[in-house]
Amino acid sequence: MPDNVPSHNPKLRRIGGFTLAELLIVVAIVGVLVAIAIPVFTARLAKAQEATCIANRRSMYAEVVTTAMDTEKEAEVFGKIDRLAKGYTCPNGGNWSWDTGTRSITCDEHPDETENPSITTSKSYLSDWNKFIDSITDPKIKNNNSKMRELFFAEYGSPLLTYQGKDYNVQPFFKSTGETWLFAREGTGDNWSANFVYDPIDQSWYRCVKENGTPTSASISSISTTEELHKYMMGELTDQWNNRWEKVENPKISSVT
């Protein structure tokens, strides 16, 4: 066929490249993908920033509690720590403050709205226990753990921790040194053998298990400080039976009954 004769075969006539219609379709597809991706990316970024803020606050909380050693000095210690130097910051520039009532660090950018409700209940119950202790002026009552618990239960009741279909009573514990924490077991009598313990430093519940993983209980009466309690929960310390504590994810704790 001579070179100057036009071909009627579309495949032979096409030199290459995209038509305008094809380009518009590609642009439209890219636009849709971007419209979907940006909100997803933004949401995940916000979640990551919130998680970082919470993690940083927990790290600082652990330092505050272990340094202060008693609740009266916690706010003072919180104010003295060089947060910037230690990386205790909010990625969004939020302002942190110490909440004496709940013994926690709050952020005005991330108010912990997504916190597990059961952890919120635990923190509130422990806060009520601390306030109750502070309100007692009679030394005979304050030196009597059993009597204090009896009066506290009468006013505040006891939440239930439900795990694997079984209910355990959440109870407060008080040391003469001023240390307080929560534990859970069957019944509310004066028995310090705990199936579960709430770690105020880690702000999580832990279940006591034997070396082979079988659920059991352990006495917490010999534990002296919150820092020591935390070490047991982290596995840094064990009792004479080598019981260990495993973290309970998303614990189910009822409102105060």
Closest CA to 183 of 215, 146, 208, 201: 208
Closest CA to 60 of 43, 46, 72, 78: 78
Q: What is the pLDDT of residues 9-55, one digit of tens each?
A: 555 455 566 788 878 888 888 878 777 777 666 667 777 888 888 88
- Give the span between the Cα atoms of 105 and 129, in whole angstroms: 19
| Cβ–Cβ < 8 Å for 182, 125 | yes
- What is the percent of the chain with per-residue pLDDT over 70, rounded to a whole number? 87
**CATH T-level assignment (fold) for domain 117-253:** TcpA-like pilin (3.30.1690)
pLDDT band of 205, cuts 50, 70, 90: very high
Q: Are strands 160-163 and 104-107 parallel, antiparallel or unpaired?
A: unpaired
- For 141-198, the DSSP string reads HHT-HHHHHHHHHHHH---EEEETTEEEEEEEEE-TTS-EEEEEESS-SS--EESEEE
- Give the span between the Cα atoms of 131 and 108, in whole angstroms: 24
Query: Within 13 A of 235's CA, how many CA atoms are on the CB side?
Result: 8
On average, the pLDDT of the chain sits at 83
pLDDT for 9 equals 54
Q: What is the pLDDT of residues 120-144, one digit of tens each?
A: 889 889 989 988 998 988 988 888 8
Q: Which residue ranges make up each domain of the chain? A: 21-107, 117-253
Statement: residue 1 has pLDDT above 60? no
pTM above 0.75, yes or no: no
pLDDT for 154 equals 92
pLDDT for 13 equals 52
Look at 161 and 39; give whichever has higher pLDDT: 161
Q: What is the pLDDT of residues 71-127, one digit of tens each?
A: 778 888 999 999 888 899 998 888 998 887 667 888 888 766 455 778 888 988 998
- What is the percent of the chain with per-residue pLDDT over 90, rounded to a whole number? 25
Instruction: Assign 3-class secondary structure to 26-77.
Output: HHHHHHHHHHHHHHHHHHHHHHHHHHHHHHHHHHHHHHHHHHHCCHHHHHHH
Q: Say what angle helices 20-68 and 226-233 make with each other, to 10 degrees.
A: 130
pLDDT for 132 equals 92
Q: What is the pLDDT of residues 51-68, one digit of tens each?
A: 888 888 888 888 888 888
